């Protein structure tokens, strides 16, 4: 049996080049602590496994969706570097490069069982949406953890050799180059993640921030969850416009920053709804993420804005899913709304999806896309339990509904690259689109405004793109023709599609200026 005295004697007999180089205070004590671990390879492996497993378990308990905030991402990277170093030091073997990430991944996946959403549950790499969900869910987490872990393990192995462990492999010149590049990559990623979000001030003619303007990103407690608003306007005394993005789970902060004309006439408030973009951290618990709660949140945001800016009413502008949310909120509390403006108006999500399935299938048959046609027929018409299955029916819209002026710069992912988003916000912009939709989309299947909203007690404006898809345009026209409202107007933007306000921002600003003149002045006179 090996005794501690034997291990110390063996350490003293190591060649000077291996036993002497560690001169830092406490190095000798560290060698004595590690000597028993080095003497038995099984102890070294066990320590590496415990380090990785502990990290995996705590990560699963504290961040079951992986890091979702800047702080969580930086802490995950730092701890991964430390764990990797410890594992490499304990084993003194290249096996730590494999053992540590594998054990971490296995324990993390087991520990977060029960967390649901396309980015965290079953892996589906046979579709584009499934691959994207894997990339922003597991892939990003892997980059944040595994690369620092490998760098740390390599350093730990080298340190074990410097402290005197026998037969410790040296990386060699090529190995150090690779590790160096990885370390630089870790540093670049960390610096990118650490960059805070900001929104530029609104400037006056002198180039200085305009007095009385507002330009801020603010987290507001809404529905017991902090949710982010971007608030911008040339005057805090202007009328308030609340913008509701599409989705569920969509974020349009970047899209609103592309053109600032609306800010000249309104205090423009862009809300990243719960579980979307900058509010992705508010996603859980998902059992409270309901349609009713989303509508209640919209009403609470409206009340926050009314109180903050001392306005009796606000303007609501919605796009796509945001039109569903906006209509339901305005229906419940018309007294809070100057006017409702719908762009890409939704009416019946179920019927829209069926029409998309029909149009995509017809296009696939017409153009010889036999694989797609077979998949569509195999899936059958919507609705589907798995939101990733909608890809086959809905993601080919711009193939069969082409128009020359479609601009991908106003769509995801291009709109994410503005200073208002942090590095993690951009990742969460994708995550929210999957995980929020998985929860909320099934709850929309029974809505049909032709039945549920035959009357709206606020002025109604509907802005339609000339190239809006049949599945939305036909239903929107049917609802518009039957709905009763104090006043209503339908405007068509030539050359535009589902997002006419972004396809034609200057024209949309003109429409909103006219809406303002027609409604805000009259309201003011009556108060």
Residue 28 pLDDT: 67
What's the confidence (pLDDT) of residue 311?
Answer: 96
- Cα separations in angstroms, 331 against 321, 368, 395: 16, 45, 31
Query: How big is the chain, counted in residues?
Result: 527
Give the confidence band of 512 by pLDDT, cuts at 50, 70, 90: very high
Q: Is the preceding peptide bond at 52 cis, omega within 30 degrees of 0?
A: no
Task: Collect all residues with Cβ–Cβ distance below 8 Å to 233 and sequence separation of at least 6.
Answer: 202, 213, 214, 263, 266, 267, 268
Residue-level pLDDT at 219? 97
Q: Are 480 and 306 in contact (CB under 8 A)?
A: no
Q: Assess whether pLDDT exceeds 90 at residue 111.
A: yes
Q: What percent of the chain has pLDDT over 90?
A: 79
Indicate whether 24 pLDDT > 80: no
pLDDT band at 394 (very low <50, low <70, confident <90, very high): very high
pLDDT at 37 over 80: no
Closest CA to 122 of 140, 141, 138, 146: 138
User: What pLDDT band is residue 124 in, cutting at 50, 70 and 90?
Assistant: confident
Residue 93 has pLDDT above 50, yes or no: yes
pLDDT of residue 521: 62
CA pair distance 242, 172, nearest whole angstrom: 59
pLDDT band at 457 (very low <50, low <70, confident <90, very high): very high
Handedness of CA 264, 267, 273, 278 (dihedral sign): positive
- What's the CATH fold of domain 214-348+406-522? Rossmann fold (3.40.50)
Yes or no: say if 102 and 173 are a contact pair by the CB < 8 Å rule.
Answer: no
Percent of the chain having pLDDT more than 70? 93
Q: For residues 412 and 300, which has the higher predicted lDDT (pLDDT)?
A: 300
Pairing of strands 460-465, 488-493: parallel
- pLDDT tens-place string over residues 395-453: 999 999 988 888 888 899 999 999 999 999 999 999 999 999 999 999 999 999 999 99
CA atoms of 234 and 222, how far apart (whole Å): 25
pTM of the model: 0.90
For residue 220, the model assigns a pLDDT of: 98
CA 259 from centroid of its chain's CA atoms: 22
The pLDDT tens digits for 99-108 are: 999 999 999 9
pLDDT tens-digit series, residues 203-222: 999 999 999 999 999 999 99
| Contact (Cβ atoms closer than 8 angstroms) between residue 200 and residue 263 | no
b/e code 20-34 from CB counts within 10 Å (16+ = b): eebeeeebeeebeeb
| Amino acid 516: pLDDT | 96
Say what the pLDDT of residue 2 is.
43
pLDDT at 434: 94
Q: What is the pLDDT averaged over residues 187-200?
A: 97
Average of per-residue pLDDT across 383-406: 90
In the predicted model, what is the mean pLDDT of residues 283-292? Answer: 96
With bands split at pLDDT 50, 70 and 90, how would you rate the model's confidence at 174?
Answer: confident
Q: Mean pLDDT, to the nearest integer, of 134-147?
A: 96
- pLDDT at position 8: 39
The candidate with the shortest Cα–Cα distance to 243, out of 224, 222, 220, 266, is 266
- Binned at pLDDT 50, 70 and 90, residue 36 comes out as confident
**pLDDT category, 161, cuts 50, 70, 90?**
confident
Per-residue pLDDT tens digits for 337-370: 999 999 999 999 999 999 999 999 999 999 999 9
Q: Which residue has the higher pLDDT, 160 or 418?
A: 418
Which is it for strands 225-233 and 267-271: parallel, antiparallel or unpaired?
antiparallel
Q: Is the pLDDT of residue 3 over 70?
A: no
Domain ranges for the chain: 4-194, 214-348+406-522
Look over the chain and give the mean of its residue pLDDT values, rounded to a whole number: 91
């Amino acid at each position: 049996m090996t005794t501690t005295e034997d291990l110390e004697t063996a350490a003293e007999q190591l060649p000077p080049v291996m036993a002497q180089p560690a001169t830092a205070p406490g190095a000798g004590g560290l060698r004595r602590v590690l000597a028993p671990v080095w003497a038995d390879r099984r102890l070294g492996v066990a320590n590496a496994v415990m380090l990785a497993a502990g990290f995996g378990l705590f990560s699963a308990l504290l961040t079951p969706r992986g890091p979702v905030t800047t702080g969580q991402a930086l802490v995950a990277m730092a701890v991964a570097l430390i764990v990797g170093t410890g594992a490499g030091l304990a084993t003194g073997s290249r096996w730590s490069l494999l053992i540590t990430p594998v054990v971490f991944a296995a324990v993390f996946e087991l520990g977060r069982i029960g967390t649901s959403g396309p980015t965290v549950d079953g892996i589906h790499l046979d579709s584009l949406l499934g691959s994207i969900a894997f990339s922003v869910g597991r892939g990003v987490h892997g980059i944040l953890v595994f690369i620092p872990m490998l760098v740390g393990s390599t350093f730990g192995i080298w340190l074990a050799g410097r402290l005197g462990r026998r037969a410790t492999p040296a990386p060699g010149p090529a190995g150090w180059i690779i590790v160096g590049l990885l370390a630089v990559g870790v540093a670049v990623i960390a610096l990118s993640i650490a960059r805070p979000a900001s929104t530029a001030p609104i400037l006056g003619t002198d180039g200085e921030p305009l007095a009385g303007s507002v330009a801020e990103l603010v987290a507001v407690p809404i529905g017991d969850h902090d949710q982010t608003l971007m608030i911008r306007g040339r005057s805090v005394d202007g009328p308030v416009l609340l913008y509701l993005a599409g989705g569920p789970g969509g974020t349009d902060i970047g899209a609103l920053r592309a053109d600032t004309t609306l800010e000249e006439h309104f205090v423009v408030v862009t809300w990243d709804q719960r579980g979307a973009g900058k509010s992705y951290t508010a996603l859980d618990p998902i059992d409270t993420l309901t349609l009713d709660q989303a509508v209640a949140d919209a009403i609470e945001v409206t009340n926050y804005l009314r109180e903050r800016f001392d306005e009796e009413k606000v303007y609501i502008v919605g796009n796509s899913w945001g039109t569903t949310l906006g209509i339901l909120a305005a229906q419940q509390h018309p007294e809070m709304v100057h006017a409702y403006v719908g762009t890409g108006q939704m009416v019946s999500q179920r019927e829209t999806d069926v029409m998309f399935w029909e149009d995509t299938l017809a296009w696939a048959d017409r153009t010889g896309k036999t694989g797609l046609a077979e998949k569509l027929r195999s899936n059958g018409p919507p609705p589907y339990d798995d939101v990733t299955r909608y890809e086959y029916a809905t993601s080919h819209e711009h193939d069969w509904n082409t128009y020359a002026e479609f601009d991908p710069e106003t769509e995801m992912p291009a709109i994410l690259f503005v200073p208002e988003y942090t590095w993690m916000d951009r990742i969460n912009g994708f995550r929210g689109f999957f995980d929020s939709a998985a929860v909320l989309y099934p709850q929309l299947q029974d809505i049909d405004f032709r039945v549920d909203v035959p009357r709206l007690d606020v002025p109604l404006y509907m802005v339609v793109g000339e190239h809006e898809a049949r599945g939305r345009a036909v239903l929107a026209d049917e609802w518009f023709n039957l709905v009763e409202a104090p006043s209503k107007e339908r405007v068509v933007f030539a050359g535009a599609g589902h997002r006419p306000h972004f396809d034609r921002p200057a024209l949309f600003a003109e429409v909103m200026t006219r809406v303002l003149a027609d409604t805000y002045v009259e309201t003011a006179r009556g108060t």
